[in-house]
Amino acid sequence: MQRARYRLWLWPVGDCCCEAWRSESGGHRAGSALIGLIKALAIDNGVADRIEVIEGEARQVQVDGKFDVVISETIGHVIFDEQVVPIMIDARERFLKPGGVLIPGAVTLMAAPAHFDPGYQSLPSGIHGRFDCFEDLARNIPIALCDKRPVQLLCDAQPLAHVDLTSAVDGPDLNQLIARWQLSDVSRVNCIFVWVEAELAPGVRLTTMETPSWSGTVYRLKPFDHPSGELEFRLAMDSATNHWQVNLVDGELELSRSYSPARAGAELLGLARMGPVDFRHLKATGQLNLQFI
């Protein structure tokens, strides 16, 4: 019986196809060593005569013909940080045969209210005194978490963004990511946890929640005192930083908290410019607030 033959385009392998050109050290491209490793693996497994390794920027590489299967590993920790959408749209249009298979076929950025245990009670750990400002500052810094055990999801996840790579013509607006949950108890919610899910084939999904190979992101918040309501998470991701806002609505009650590294820095610079009299006055009147909310 003759074995069926398929043409496979793996895009990229070990980041060498699309990322190698970006990182250079000592005159040698970072991907060059990986290409040598890929070739060595191909020889060891007896498939060197069937594999061609190409180094270059993904959307500039020129290859003859079409492929039965196009695979990309550029999922990234938050999907869009490695340009998977434009890369896959380009690969689909230029290299995929009609009726061919695209892997992944879809990607989704998921989010859920959660309780995060950082492993300490307060900052600085083990030192007596009041250091609330350290905790308030820390909440403005997202945490990339490979070990998900410190995170306990408190309700079902909701999608922040979904892209069907088999038909998409553009990526989502990363400045308008929103998810909502109705919660009967918000007392333990001290973060929103965000991770990636990818559809590899019908019924086959990869979730970065269940593997240490990709990190999820902890977006921290100061817990609300109000017991219940609709929790809304708004996330904006630009090339420089993240901004997130968490709103709690219960009838006419509306509470809101906003965070970002840039916002925290601006608040600290403002405090640094204050004189001792201004500082003491703000503290005495309750206007000195390092919670950045």
Does the pLDDT value for residue 22 go beyond 60?
no
> Are residues 179 and 280 both part of a single domain?
yes
What is the pLDDT averaged over residues 177-200?
A: 95
Give me the CATH number covering residue 133: 2.70.160
> CA-CA distance, 11 to 67, in Å (whole number)?
12
Which among 80, 103, 126 is the end of a domain?
A: 103
pLDDT tens readout for residues 53-87 = 877 777 787 877 888 888 887 776 667 766 788 88
> Are residues 175 and 250 both part of a single domain?
yes
> Are residues 21 and 142 both part of a single domain?
no
> CA-CA distance, 260 to 160, in Å (whole number)?
18
Q: What is the DSSP letter of 150?
A: T
> Are residues 268 and 143 both part of a single domain?
yes
Does residue 230 lie within any of the structural domains? yes
Which among 50, 83, 103 is the end of a domain?
A: 103
> Are residues 145 and 97 both part of a single domain?
no
Name beta bridge partners: 29.
Answer: 24
Does residue 290 lie within any of the structural domains? no
> Are residues 79 and 111 both part of a single domain?
no
> Are residues 242 and 134 both part of a single domain?
yes
Closest alpha carbon to 292 in 250, 256, 253, 254:
256
C-alpha distances (whole Å) from 216 to each of 54, 106, 170 are 31, 18, 24
Which among 103, 136, 171 is the end of a domain?
A: 103
Give pLDDT, residue 135. Answer: 78
Q: Average model confidence (pLDDT) for the chain?
A: 80
pTM assigned to the model: 0.79
Does residue 51 lie within any of the structural domains? yes
Does the pLDDT value for residue 185 go beyond 70?
yes
> CA-CA distance, 210 to 60, in Å (whole number)?
34
> Are residues 206 and 148 both part of a single domain?
yes
User: In total, how many domains does the chain have?
Assistant: 2
Does the pLDDT value for residue 225 go beyond 50?
yes
What is the pLDDT averaged over residues 135-159?
A: 92
Closest alpha carbon to 13 in 44, 34, 36, 43:
34
Does residue 268 lie within any of the structural domains? yes
- Non-local (6+) Cβ contacts of 43 within 8 A are none
> Cβ(108)–Cβ(162) under 8 Å?
yes
C-alpha distances (whole Å) from 125 to each of 155, 220, 223 are 30, 18, 20
> Are residues 93 and 228 both part of a single domain?
no
Does residue 289 lie within any of the structural domains? no
Does residue 46 lie within any of the structural domains? yes
Would strands 67-71 and 8-10 be described as parallel, antiparallel, or unpaired?
parallel
Does residue 233 lie within any of the structural domains? yes
Does the pLDDT value for residue 151 go beyond 90?
yes
Does residue 291 lie within any of the structural domains? no
Three-state SS for 69-107 is: EEECCCCCCCCHHHCHHHHHHHHHHHHEEEEEEEECCEE
Q: Which residue blocks in 100-183 are alpha helix, DSSP H?
A: 132-138
pLDDT tens readout for residues 262-290 = 777 776 676 677 666 565 655 565 555 55
> Are residues 177 and 58 both part of a single domain?
no
Does the pLDDT value for residue 193 go beyond 90?
yes
Give pLDDT, residue 293. Answer: 39
> Are residues 200 and 222 both part of a single domain?
yes
> Are residues 147 and 192 both part of a single domain?
yes
Residue span of the structural domain in which 87 resides = 8-103
Closest alpha carbon to 146 in 79, 205, 218:
218
Give me the CATH number covering residue 24: 3.40.50.150
pLDDT tens readout for residues 76-127 = 666 776 678 888 888 889 888 899 999 999 999 999 999 999 886 665 666 6
